[in-house]
Amino acid sequence: MAQVVLGVAGGIAAYKSCELLRLLTEAGHRVRVLPTAAALRFVGVPTWEALSGHPVTTSAFVDAHQVPHVRIGQQAELVLVAPATADLLARAATGAADDLLTSTLLTARCPVLYAPAMHTEMWQHPATAANVATLRERGAVVVDPATGRLTGADSGPGRLPEPAELFALAARLLARGAPVADLAGWRVVVTAGGTREPLDPVRFLGNRSSGKQGYAFARTAVARGATVTLVAANVDLPDPAGAVVYRVETTEQLRDATLAAAAGADAVVMAAAPCDFRPARYSTEKIKKDGAGGAAVELVATVDVAATLGAGKPPGQVLVAFAAETVTGPAAEASARAKLARKHADLIVLNQVGPGAPGGFGADTNAATVLAAGGNGTVIPPRSKDDLADAVWDLVKPLLPGG
């Protein structure tokens, strides 16, 4: 397992980092907690020492014979700062080294992840924006904060993402190692989940998509430094840390939200499973079962969201489509290649779904063959959905401007 440094700055969200520390240690990582002096006003030394199993100090002069202000950073495989306050971001961006945490940030050559948390006005201030841009330019991953309830009655962007999602993001950085922020500067849009087409007030036509693969694409893109917008259709999963999430229900709503988000995006990954059909008529009252037999439901085709995007995508934008097939072999590939051409996509991810499939709907693993518009195909054997997403991003990256 990895040697992780957990930096904790002086914000009210410091209490959430206790849960993050627990997740890291339970995964087997060796975690050294480096709080700032202000952080200890929120969570004290005994708590950090008991949860981490290591001594905790803010000073570089404790155990000076071990040169901790240098050694801790040199030995770290990941530095995660959560919460990262406006003050901490400013000190890190200017290269300050006035405590053990900021000294470690200067000596670390491993992936560095900042999870900002502060009031909205502080997050949106030009000084903070400039400091975040500087840290990102240097290769650090700085995730955008979540939107929600802040200190007191205030609400808005500035909330620390949930510990479980920060843990998942840290796991991706540890899995990849360097280079970390190889998608920095690019804007990507990911769709996830399955749409639902209403039949009556209580019923709908839908599919089995859980959204896990789309969320994996969003999570891995954030870990690689991209600015990520996620359009989620009926997904019961926590928001990935650092992604802006829009929630939709129907295929038409998915189309509208994705078209809006895709304006100016460098890449669009259509991992959602839109319904191919919808009921021709919607009943404003629940359709009753009167015992006389079945009820006929006429279906009409829904809009093809990926084809709509492909037909109007600007030069340089990369479109990744998906083809979920229950058949295998040449028939599946022929169907996927036809979709690739019809949707004007650059890549299409062909994966098998249904009984006996190596992954698919609801599973934590997946396998795929990625077909390119130029005719090439890349087989991705069964693996976690996060690892599969990373493999696809590796194929997208050379197609991006300057990639």
As annotated, the active-site residues are 207
- What DSSP string runs through 77-95? SEEEEEEE-HHHHHHHHHT
Which H or E run contains 206? none
Q: d(Cα 143, Cα 242) in Å, to the nearest integer? A: 4
Q: Hey, what are 166's tokens? A: 């920060």
Q: d(Cα 257, Cα 203) in Å, to the nearest integer? A: 23
Place of tokens 């100090």: 57
Q: Hey, what are 339's tokens? A: 């979709």
Q: Count CA atoms closer than 13 A to 22's CA, side-chain side.
A: 8
Nearest CA to 153 among 115, 120, 124, 116? 120
* Burial annotation 79-109 (CB, 10 A radius, 16+ → b, else e): bbbbbbbbbbbebbbeeebebbbbbbbebbe
The DSSP 8-state label assigned to residue 142 in this structure reads E
- What DSSP string runs through 2-39? -EEEEEE-SSGGGGHHHHHHHHHHHTT-EEEEEE-TTG
Per 3-state DSSP, the chain is made up of helix, strand and coil in percentages (nearest 5) of: 35, 25, 40
The answer, yes or no, to whether the previous bond of 83 is cis (omega within 30 of 0) is yes
Distance of CA 127 to the CA centre of its chain: 26
